């Protein structure tokens, strides 16, 4: 099973709302990632978790709060977002071998619209 699932598929929220994106994998991967992708642009790395610990934060605004409750789950909590945060949010996972990474497997993404 090489599947990464993401819920919800679509999300519309107001600037005062609090919502969460969920990502799940059952491949035994110990590295999980959040990316943001604007239309017609490549994905941009936001956060990396390695062995359930945050290892990379690409200077993401605090209105985005990641959480990795266990090795299979990755959440992204959203609060007080701006319209420019509207994008496709992609989750990915990979093995971590000898400190290097293996193939990253991506989920289908959550299409977020902030009104």
| Interaction site with another protein (CB under 8 A) | 4, 6, 31, 33, 42-45, 48, 50, 55-56, 88, 90, 92, 94, 96, 99-109, 111
Distance between CA atoms of residues 34 and 44, nearest Å: 9
Q: Which two tokens stand for residue 99?
A: 């400190």
Identity of the residue, 74 or 92, whose beta carbon is nearer to another protein in the bound complex: 92
From the CB of 104, what's the least distance to another protein, in Å? 6
Collect all residues with Cβ–Cβ distance below 8 Å to 68 and sequence separation of at least 6.
Answer: 32, 49, 52, 53, 54, 74, 75
Identity of the residue, 17 or 104, whose beta carbon is nearer to another protein in the bound complex: 104
Identity of the residue, 17 or 86, whose beta carbon is nearer to another protein in the bound complex: 86
Distance between CA atoms of residues 76 and 23, nearest Å: 8
From the CB of 54, what's the least distance to another protein, in Å? 12
């Amino acid at each position: 099973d090489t599947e990464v699932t993401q819920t919800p598929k679509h999300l519309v929220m107001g600037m005062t709302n609090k919502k969460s994106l969920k990502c799940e994998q059952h491949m035994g991967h110990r590295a999980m990632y959040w990316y943001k992708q604007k239309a017609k642009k490549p994905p941009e790395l936001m956060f990396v978790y390695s062995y359930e610990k945050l290892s990379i934060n690409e200077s993401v605004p605090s209105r985005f709060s990641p959480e990795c409750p266990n090795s299979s789950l990755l959440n992204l909590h959203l609060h007080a977002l701006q319209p420019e945060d509207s994008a496709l949010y992609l989750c990915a996972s990979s093995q971590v071998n000898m400190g290097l990474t293996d193939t990253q497997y991506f989920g289908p993404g959550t299409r977020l619209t902030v009104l």
